[in-house]
């Protein structure tokens, strides 16, 4: 087994901060992966295009224009910068990242892949071990939504009561009958 101490170690937070949710899946984009692997993005994309049969839709996909705009807004990137991206990036799921180690056959790529897979695994473990917390959070969220609806209804009811009180307090505008002779047209 080769020594891993000679290879640069990427901090776990760095990897976690580069995992995004697109189409309901945790993904990493081609540019971030290329940077971690120490290769150019175009090199990574070329390698993927040469081996497209290894990357089905659930391993890798390209963002649509709308997804690209939503993703950029998630990470607060200016339109000019686009995180250095001119085109919608390739998105790699956990399985896609694992498959990348097969086509990028360098020691650094393999070491980085191992770290990324470990982070994905830890994230999955945390979700499973804290599932009860997520269920409780969902229940609390539902209750809050119900309370918000009730508060809104109460607010509308209170507003109606205030309007009724104002109507009662305001003296009615009486129409006075004019003194004097009126023509028959004015009486109707």
Tell me the domain boundaries of the chain: 12-129, 130-166
Neighbours of 28 (CB within 10 A): 24
CATH for 12-129, options being 2.60.40, 3.10.260, 3.30.70, 3.90.1200: 3.10.260
What distance in Å separates the CA atoms of residue 15 and residue 36, rounded to the nearest whole number?
A: 9
Question: For every one of its 188 residues, what pLDDT tens digit does the chain have, with 9 covering 90 and above?
Answer: 444 455 567 788 888 888 888 888 888 899 988 888 888 888 889 999 999 999 999 999 988 888 887 777 766 554 444 455 677 789 999 889 888 878 887 788 878 888 888 888 888 888 777 778 778 888 888 888 888 888 888 889 999 998 988 888 877 677 777 777 777 776 65
Q: Which residues, at least 6 apart from 37, have a Cβ–Cβ distance to it below 8 Å?
A: 44, 100, 104, 106, 108, 109, 112
pTM score, whole prediction: 0.58
């Amino acid at each position: 087994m080769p020594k891993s101490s000679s290879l640069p170690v990427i901090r776990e937070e760095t990897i976690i901060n580069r995992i995004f949710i697109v189409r309901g899946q945790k993904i990493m984009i081609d540019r971030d992966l290329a940077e971690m692997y120490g290769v150019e993005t175009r090199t990574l994309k070329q390698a993927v295009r040469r081996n497209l049969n290894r990357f089905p839709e659930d391993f890798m996909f390209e963002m649509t224009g709308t997804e690209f705009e939503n993703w950029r807004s998630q990470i607060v990137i200016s339109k000019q910068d686009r995180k250095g991206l001119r085109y919608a990036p390739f998105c790699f799921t956990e399985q896609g990242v694992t498959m990348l180690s097969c086509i990028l056959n360098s020691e650094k790529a393999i070491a980085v892949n191992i770290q990324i897979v470990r982070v994905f695994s830890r994230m999955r473990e945390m979700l499973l071990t804290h599932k009860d917390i997520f269920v409780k959070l969902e229940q609390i969220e539902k209750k809050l939504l119900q309370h918000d609806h009730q508060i809104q209804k109460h607010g509308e009811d209170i507003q109606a009561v205030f309007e009724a009180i104002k109507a009662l307090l305001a003296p009615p505008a009486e129409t006075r009958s004019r003194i004097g002779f009126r023509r028959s047209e004015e009486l109707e």
